[in-house]
């Protein structure tokens, strides 16, 4: 039983570019949440998708957007990248919205 998988594992982008990160939830899970983790800090909630809709959103600008597909997988898109967007981006999945949440290994994004 595969857990939460994310791709790519590492990514280097130039300031101003756009990036798309992908996440496949754990088998049986239907809810996907995205988090940003800066070095030395705890993960910060970006947004959550359930039934292909954004259900909740954290304090992140509109440059951060997402999508959930019918197979429950999800994408995180970040436009107009800033140096400060460099972080570990984590995807977490759960069955419905307020149950055990399991994380993927993350995508390390570096903006130069």
List of residues contacting other proteins (CB under 8 A): 4, 6, 33, 35, 40-45, 48, 55-56, 58, 88, 90, 92, 97-98, 100-106
Q: Describe the chain by its helix, strand, coil percentages, rounded to 5.
A: 5, 50, 45
> Closest approach of Cβ 27 to other proteins, in Å?
15
Q: Which helix (H) or strand (E) holds 19?
A: strand 19-24
Q: Which of 66, 55, 57, 54 is nearest to 23 (CA)?
A: 66
> Closest approach of Cβ 106 to other proteins, in Å?
5
> Closest approach of Cβ 50 to other proteins, in Å?
9
Q: Which is closer to other proteins, CB of 33 or CB of 68?
A: 33
């Amino acid at each position: 039983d595969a857990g939460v998988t994310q791709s790519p594992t590492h990514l280097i982008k130039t300031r101003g570019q756009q990036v798309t990160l992908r996440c496949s939830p754990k088998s049986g899970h239907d809810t996907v949440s995205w988090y940003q983790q800066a070095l030395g800090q705890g993960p910060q909630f970006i947004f959550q998708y359930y039934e292909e809709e954004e259900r909740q959103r954290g304090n992140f600008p509109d440059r951060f957007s997402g999508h959930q597909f019918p197979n429950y997988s999800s994408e995180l898109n970040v436009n107009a990248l800033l140096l400060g967007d460099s972080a570990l981006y984590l995807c977490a999945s759960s069955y419905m919205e307020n149950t055990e949440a399991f994380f993927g290994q993350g995508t390390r994004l570096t903006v130069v």
